[in-house]
């Protein structure tokens, strides 16, 4: 009597044998192994262009295999008053110290895949999907969870050093606010402003401080003796930099080794001030959103969070 046997990987009768990978798995594998690609970048925020995907409402960036197709997409957005630029991501050779404690010592050669590097930064921005357009094929929205190591997003979302929702709402706000005037949707802009502000009042922002000479590496520092850095705009205006998260702080302090981060609840930010500053500048290396000192109590009052900050200033 014949015995029915089940062969692993066999297909039901009438089905054609195909690659074991599903279509989704193939495209995910393709993105993971890209050595070069092109991303739509927003000069309005100094960050990748972010949009809300229409079907599942994922927050996504656009990634292209071919430069000309990325450029075509940029032209379509330009017709809607949205300025973007095409940025190349590739694999580059870098030289790093063999011994991290001896940065000027012997170097070793490594290869940095900028596509993977870019994907790894997306959870910090609150982005949870990538719209990938292979050459001459249909674009497909892929959830970031399938492209990154397991639990990577969860670890960032659960870390108090990062505030993805604040980053994301700031990006959407500034993308809309800096569109060509005739294309700005005032009703949408107001809604985005309120969403960002509601996240801001509950946030803890990072400030950069410069400890007194000789105390740069001490665990505890006296804030009253610290100096506060400031930004000088090309038009002469002075701004006080503040940051949504440790990632933005680290982008700012590159080459400024002695600056230290302190995290301050938003209602207390008004206690810190740089003399003659025009406003705070949230994420100066990112979406660069100015917030005047006078706006802080008004925002707190509107959203009913905490009490108005102490107006005592800390001036450099």
**pTM passes above 0.95:** no
What residues are paired with 109 via a beta bridge? 95
Q: Per the structure block, which two tokens stand in for 163?
A: 């505030």
The tens digit of pLDDT for each residue in 45-91 reads 999 999 999 999 999 999 999 999 999 999 999 999 999 999 999 99
pLDDT tens digits, residue range 246-285?
Answer: 999 999 998 787 899 999 999 999 999 998 999 999 999 9
Rounded distance between C-alpha atoms, residue 240 and residue 279, angstroms: 6
pLDDT at 130 over 60: yes
Q: What is the structure's pLDDT at 14?
A: 40
Joined tokens for residue 112: 């940095």
C-beta of residue 58 within 8 angstroms of C-beta of residue 143: yes
C-alpha 283 chain-centroid distance? 10
């Amino acid at each position: 009597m014949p015995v029915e046997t089940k062969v692993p990987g066999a297909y039901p009768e009438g089905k054609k044998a195909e690659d074991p990978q599903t279509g989704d798995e193939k495209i995910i594998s393709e993105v993971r192994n890209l050595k070069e690609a092109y991303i739509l970048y927003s000069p309005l925020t100094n960050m990748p262009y972010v949009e809300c995907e229409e079907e599942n409402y994922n927050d996504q960036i656009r990634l292209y295999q071919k430069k000309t197709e990325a450029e075509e997409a940029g032209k379509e957005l330009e017709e809607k008053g949205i300025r973007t630029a095409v940025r190349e991501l590739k694999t580059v050779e870098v030289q790093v110290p063999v011994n991290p404690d001896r940065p000027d010592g012997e170097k070793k050669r490594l290869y940095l895949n900028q596509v993977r590097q870019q994907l790894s930064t997306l959870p910090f921005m609150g982005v949870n999907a990538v719209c990938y357009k292979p050459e001459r094929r249909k674009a497909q929205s892929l959830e970031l969870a399938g492209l990154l190591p397991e639990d990577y997003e969860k670890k960032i979302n659960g870390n108090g050093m990062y505030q993805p929702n604040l980053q994301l709402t700031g990006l959407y706000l500034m993308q809309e606010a800096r569109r060509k005037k005739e294309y700005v949707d005032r009703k949408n802009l107001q809604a985005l402003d309120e969403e960002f502000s509601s996240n801001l009042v509950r946030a803890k922002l990072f400030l950069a401080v410069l400890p007194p000479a000789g105390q740069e590496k001490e665990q505890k520092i006296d804030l009253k003796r610290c100096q506060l850095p400031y930004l000088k705009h090309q038009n002469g205006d002075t701004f006080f930099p503040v940051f949504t998260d440790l990632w933005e702080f680290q982008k700012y302090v590159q080459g400024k080794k002695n600056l230290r981060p302190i995290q301050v609840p938003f209602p207390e930010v008004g206690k810190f001030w740089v003399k003659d500053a025009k406003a705070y500048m949230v994420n100066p290396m990112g979406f660069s959103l100015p917030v005047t000192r006078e706006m802080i109590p008004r925002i707190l009052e509107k959203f009913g969070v905490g009490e108005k900050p102490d107006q005592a200033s800390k001036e450099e």
